[in-house]
Amino acid sequence: MREEERRRALDRERSVALALHELIEALDRRVPHVERVGEIRIACEAAALRKKAVARIDELRSSRFDSQRREDELSDAVMNDDGAPQPNA
């Protein structure tokens, strides 16, 4: 059951990351029209939104990496544990 929950969480993270990438691509395609009223504010808000999206993608990558690393460490510990006392390093 735990593996299934982990898989679902990873799927959700991938979906969020994909949506954020699509948002960034759309923001990058947008051409500011400085002649329009309020365009400077819109462009600034778009830049801030893009920055937040990039940061969130980095967080997702980092948490996925940390989670996988912890899982690997636990797996290694279990696979190497023969019940004998561990030698001091």
Q: Residue 37's Cα: distance from chain center in Å?
A: 35
Whether the pTM exceeds 0.85: the reply is: no
| Statement: residue 83 has pLDDT above 60 | no
Domain ranges of the chain: 2-66
Residue 46 CB neighbours (<10 A)? 16
In whole angstroms, what is the distance from residue 8 CA to residue 15 CA? Answer: 10
The phi-psi region of residue 33 (left if phi > 0; otherwise alpha if psi is between -120 and 50; otherwise beta) is: beta
List pLDDT tens digits, range 8-54: 888 899 999 999 999 999 999 998 888 899 999 999 999 999 999 99
Average pLDDT over residues 64-69: 66
